[in-house]
Structures are given as structure tokens and as C-alpha cells.
């Protein structure tokens, strides 16, 4: 990590500041929307619009970069983010906020593509996994810090909208002034969703369902806390626990996935996360228990994205892995678009507790589908599992990009090539020995 910090501190600092602003506005949107009199369903649609823009940004940002370069795209999209954040209190209308969220999702997605391609280019094969996992850690720390700022201001005023706008503006200074050379950018070849589904049905379906979960946790967590009557300080602490859980359990679950059938681990984690979510429904009125539920639900569910990436790769050849990343990202984005409205409708019908019921239902469906798939297909698990924390860069709604996924795929390709080279060397050695024996 020291090597990564020394060589990429400017980018890491910039993304840390960006995520403070992003995390603050994400929760503030739900609180301020309730103050403005928006319905729960309207707020959920506003949350979903972020992911509509995000899909567009992932698709078009590489095109912009190829035409005008990383620095110009970084600066242009950063300006859009800053202007969008300060526009929320000016345009207190749900339809205007939907448009702003599309712009925000598009801009942030492009920023992530630019930043991660920059970091990926600056890393070597020996440091890429460490670099991107450190990058994700800084992002998550920024998201948690943003929740702390939320509790220090008045959500009905202007200050909490000004702060993220300032932080986003400041975040680009260290990046744009960096002396590191700008990288070349290569986008992945798209892969048919039908072909991807045939290769790994559980991977594709699981990614879509997980998109619903992540978008619900990120986009509707603050709405749930508001509906449940939590104070502003309690709300920010609750939302933070979800990310804290992911930080704590990311590596332990990844370590386990290298030592057992990944599909079985996905099923276990999804089922446990669903059970914990049910505890949130029954005991959500006890604040300390609610915080514990937040830690466990986030910790058990968020690493599932990395496990599904690794599981899908078990059924792909090295040549297919980069092409599959775009399809997996797209499916996850579709799920993310659907998640907040589903939870919003449930909360409108059944009250705040439906937040936990819907999450539990989606997670149980994921686990049950995995159990059914185990009866249809043998496992491709091998002891030489290639889990790395890099795919985790995509588990945060709003931080996923094809670059992070492609970097993860490169690690799998490299590992597969190393195994193939070792096998060839062993065969050559065996042939030489046979020749001497003859």
C-alpha cells in the first residue's frame, strides 16, 4: 500500500474528496426530498435516475476520452457534477431532480472511467490489484465521511448542498495538477447478453438482483431512516454502517472464496444477508440493533459482486473475460435502476419496514436461484481460485466502471496464462525425462 500511496496519492486524495461529496448528497437527497414533500415513490424514482445516467456515462465516456483526452473529460464532467449538486435547492421539483440525477450519474460514471483508466495504466501487473483495492478503500472511506458531515448541518438549508459542490471542485485539483502522464484508453468489446447468460446463468441473474440490493441500500437507506423517525445524526450513522460492513468483511469473504466453491459461498452469504435483513424488519425500532443489522447486511451483501465476477469467470476462457465485463456491468445497472422504485412502492404500501422486507426477498431469491442452479450444473471451482479485491471496485452503486472490471479480468487472464505456462513447462520436463529414460 505504501508504494501505491507514494505513486498515486493525488488521484486517491481527489477521489476521496469526490466521494465525501457524493456520499453526502446521496443521503441528503432523500432527507431533503421528504422535507420538500416528495412522496416516497417519487424519491425512489429520483434515486433510480442516477443509474440511468450512469449507464450512459459508462458507454459514452470512453468515446469522449478518445476524442479529447483524459484531462478535458475530467474537467468538463467535474464542472457538471459541481453545478448539478448546487442546483438541487434551486429546483425543488421531483421532475427537475430526476433530470439532475441523470446528469450526475452520467458525469460521475465518466469520472470513474477516467480515473480508473489512469490508475490502471500507472500500475504494473504486480501492483494493479493492490492499487485498485486501495482506490476502492479510499472511496468507501469518503462515503462514510460524507455521512458524518450530514449530521452537522441543516438539510432544509443551503449549506449541505454547497459543501459537496465545493468538495467536488477541490477533488479535481490534485488530479489535474498531477505530473503523471495521461494513459491511452481501450474499451472492451461488448458481449451478447444471451451468450453471457448461456455461459453463466447464475452470474447474470445474480448480478441483476444484486444491482437491486445495492441501489436500494445506497439510494433508499436514508429514505428508510427518515420514514423510521431517526434523527439526522442517527440517519448518517445508519447509512455509514452499510459501508463499514463492506470494508470489514470484504477481504475475509474474498479469502474464503479461494478455498471453497464460490457458488456455495454466494448462496450462504445471500441467505445470511437476507436473514439479517429480516432482523432489521422485526427489530429496526431498537437503534443499536439497527446499526448492527446495517453492518452485517452491508458486509454480507456487498462482497457478493466480487464473488459473482469470479464465479462467472470460472466458466469463461481468458479471451472471453474482457468482453463479458461490459455485459455484467450493464445487467447490474439495470437491476440498480429497478431497485429503488420497487422498495419505494413497498414502503408506500407497508411502511418503512418494507425496506428490509424487499431487500430480504431479493437476497433470498438470489440464494434460492443459486441452489437451483447447483442442481443443473456442476461447479467449475478449482483450488487455484483467482479472487482479488479489484472487482469490488464495482460493488458501490455509482462507482462501477468497465475499467475496474477489465482490470480485474486482466488478473484472471494473467493467472490463467501462468497456469498454462506452468503446465507446458511440466509437460516439456516430463518429455525430456522420458527421452533420457529411453
- Enumerate the domain spans of the chain: 2-423
Neighbouring C-beta atoms of residue 434, cutoff 10 Å: 9
Cα separation, 53 vs 110, in Å, equals 10
- 423 is written with which cell numbers? 503446465
Which of 396, 437, 330, 433 shows the shortest CA–CA distance to 112?
396
Checking 86-89 for CB contacts under 8 A at 24+ apart, the result is: 86/161, 86/162, 86/165, 88/25, 88/29, 88/32, 88/161, 89/32, 89/157, 89/158, 89/161
| Superfamily grouping for domain 2-423 | MFS general substrate transporter like domains (1.20.1250.20)
pLDDT per residue, tens digit, the chain (438 aa), is 565 566 667 778 888 888 888 888 877 887 888 888 888 788 888 888 887 887 777 677 767 777 777 778 878 888 899 999 899 888 889 999 999 999 998 888 778 777 766 665 665 545 555 565 677 678 778 877 887 787 777 888 888 888 888 988 888 787 777 666 655 555 445 567 788 888 889 989 998 999 899 888 877 888 898 888 888 788 888 988 988 887 788 767 866 876 778 889 999 999 999 999 999 999 888 999 999 999 999 989 988 877 787 787 777 765 565 556 556 777 887 888 888 889 988 998 988 899 999 999 999 999 999 999 888 877 655 444 444 444 433 444 444 454 455 544 554 455 455 545 655 655 665 565 555 555
* pLDDT score, position 67: 78
* pLDDT score, position 130: 57
* pLDDT score, position 431: 60
* pLDDT score, position 208: 92
Place of cell 490502471: 120
Contact 43, 53 (CB under 8 A): no
* pLDDT score, position 366: 96
Amino acid at each position: 500500500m505504501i508504494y501505491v500511496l507514494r505513486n498515486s496519492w493525488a488521484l486517491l486524495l481527489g477521489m476521496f474528496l469526490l466521494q465525501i461529496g457524493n456520499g453526502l448528497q446521496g443521503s441528503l437527497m432523500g432527507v431533503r426530498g421528504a422535507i420538500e414533500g416528495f412522496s416516497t415513490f417519487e424519491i425512489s424514482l429520483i434515486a433510480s435516475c442516477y443509474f440511468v445516467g450512469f449507464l450512459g456515462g459508462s458507454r459514452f465516456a470512453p468515446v469522449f476520452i478518445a476524442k479529447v483526452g483524459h484531462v478535458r473529460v475530467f474537467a468538463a464532467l467535474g464542472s457538471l457534477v459541481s453545478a448539478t449538486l448546487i442546483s438541487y435547492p434551486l429546483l425543488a421539483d421531483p421532475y427537475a431532480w430526476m433530470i439532475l440525477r441523470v446528469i450526475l450519474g452520467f458525469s460521475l460514471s465518466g469520472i470513474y472511467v477516467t480515473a480508473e483508466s489512469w490508475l490502471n495504466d500507472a500500475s504494473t501487473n504486480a501492483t494493479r490489484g493492490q492499487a485498485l483495492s486501495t482506490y476502492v478503500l479510499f472511496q468507501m472511506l469518503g462515503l462514510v465521511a460524507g455521512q458524518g458531515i450530514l449530521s452537522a448541518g441543516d438539510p432544509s438549508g443551503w449549506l449541505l448542498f454547497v459543501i459537496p459542490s465545493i468538495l467536488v471542485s477541490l477533488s479535481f485539483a490534485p488530479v489535474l495538477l498531477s505530473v503523471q502522464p495521461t494513459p491511452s484508453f481501450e474499451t472492451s468489446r461488448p458481449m451478447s447478453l444471451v451468450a453471457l447468460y448461456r455461459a453463466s446463468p447464475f452470474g447474470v441473474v445474480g448480478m441483476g438482483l444484486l444491482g437491486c440490493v445495492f441501489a436500494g441500500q445506497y439510494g433508499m437507506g436514508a429514505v428508510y431512516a427518515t420514514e423510521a423517525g431517526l434523527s439526522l445524526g442517527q440517519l448518517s450513522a445508519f447509512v455509514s454502517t452499510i459501508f463499514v460492513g463492506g470494508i470489514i468483511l470484504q477481504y475475509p469473504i474474498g479469502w474464503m472464496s479461494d478455498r471453497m466453491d464460490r457458488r456455495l459461498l454466494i448462496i450462504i452469504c445471500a441467505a445470511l444477508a437476507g436473514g439479517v435483513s429480516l432482523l432489521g424488519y422485526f427489530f429496526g425500532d431498537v437503534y443499536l440493533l439497527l446499526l448492527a443489522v446495517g453492518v452485517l447486511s452491508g458486509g454480507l451483501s456487498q462482497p457478493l459482486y466480487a464473488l459473482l465476477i469470479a464465479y462467472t469467470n470460472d466458466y469463461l476462457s481468458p479471451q472471453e473475460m474482457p468482453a463479458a465485463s461490459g455485459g455484467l456491468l450493464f445487467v447490474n445497472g439495470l437491476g440498480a435502476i429497478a431497485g429503488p422504485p420497487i422498495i419505494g412502492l413497498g414502503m408506500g404500501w407497508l411502511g418503512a419496514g418494507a425496506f428490509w422486507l424487499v431487500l430480504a426477498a431479493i437476497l433470498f431469491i438470489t440464494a434460492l436461484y443459486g441452489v437451483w442452479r447447483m442442481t443443473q450444473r456442476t461447479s467449475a471451482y478449482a483450488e487455484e481460485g483467482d479472487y482479488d479485491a479489484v472487482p469490488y471496485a464495482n460493488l458501490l452503486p455509482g462507482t462501477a466502471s468497465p475499467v475496474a472490471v477489465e482490470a480485474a479480468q486482466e488478473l484472471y487472464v494473467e493467472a490463467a496464462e501462468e497456469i498454462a505456462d506452468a503446465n507446458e513447462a511440466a509437460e516439456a520436463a516430463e518429455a525430456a525425462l522420458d527421452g533420457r529414460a529411453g
